[in-house]
Amino acid sequence: MEEKEYISRSQKGDIEAFNQLVERYQQLVYNLARRMLGNKEIAEDATQDAFLSAYRAIGRFRGGSFKAWILRIAANSCHDKMRMAKKASVTSLDNLMEDAGDFIPDDKAESPEDYAIRSELGRFLNDSLACLPEDQRLVVILSDIQGLSYEEISQATKSSLGTVKSRLNRGRARLRDLLLQRRELLPAEFRHDN
């Protein structure tokens, strides 16, 4: 069945059709929330909130890119979670231990030194991404991690194409500057030690 059919049936109250849309987009929405929020449980909550909001609002969906529409709802859900987190910022030891598990080496031939450097680079990239202003972080994630086109990002963020390109350029430049501060973590071909 085509996505448009699932949307149409969902707008008529067909929960199974909406569940098909959830299954199609849940990983994309979760990945966005995880990168924006940096915490597994909060990202799961934001993902659930996003789909609940989408279900309530599906009747107002008027066409266009459903992917951009659902990612906009997810971005709003993340924004709400970040606003709430500013009020009560607590890091769970369980989250830290679980996050450390994200960097288990896939390649058994990788040396312990290479694994340690790659793990530290991964943590540094996530920390650097978290340092970006929210608007820049969102477009960098949507473009460079989720692979959305400028037009889809424009729809998802309700921003002009020029604004998307500007935010992406500034976000990438800031990430580059942060990475260059830790050149030792980069593979040799990217160090450019001058």
pLDDT tens track for 3-32: 999 999 999 999 999 999 999 999 999 999
Predicted pLDDT at 88: 52
- Quickly name the fold that domain 1-90 has: Rna Polymerase Sigma Factor; Chain: A (1.10.1740)
Q: Name, in order, each residue with C-beta under 8 angstroms of 153's C-beta and a sequence gap of 6 or more.
A: 68, 139, 142, 143, 159, 164, 168
- Contact (CB, 8 A) for 140 and 129: yes
Task: Specify the 3-state DSSP secondary structure of 113.
Answer: helix
Tell me, rounded to whole angstroms, the distance of Cα 167 from its chain centroid: 15
Whether residue 60 has pLDDT greater than 70: yes
CATH number assigned to the domain covering 104-194:
1.10.10.10
pLDDT digits (tens, 9 = 90+) for 82-141: 887 766 544 444 444 444 444 444 545 677 877 777 777 778 788 888 889 999 999 999
Whether residue 169 has pLDDT greater than 50: yes
Q: What is the mean pLDDT of residues 139-157?
A: 90
- The three-point CA angle 189-192-194 to 5° equals 150
- The domain locations on the chain are 1-90, 104-194
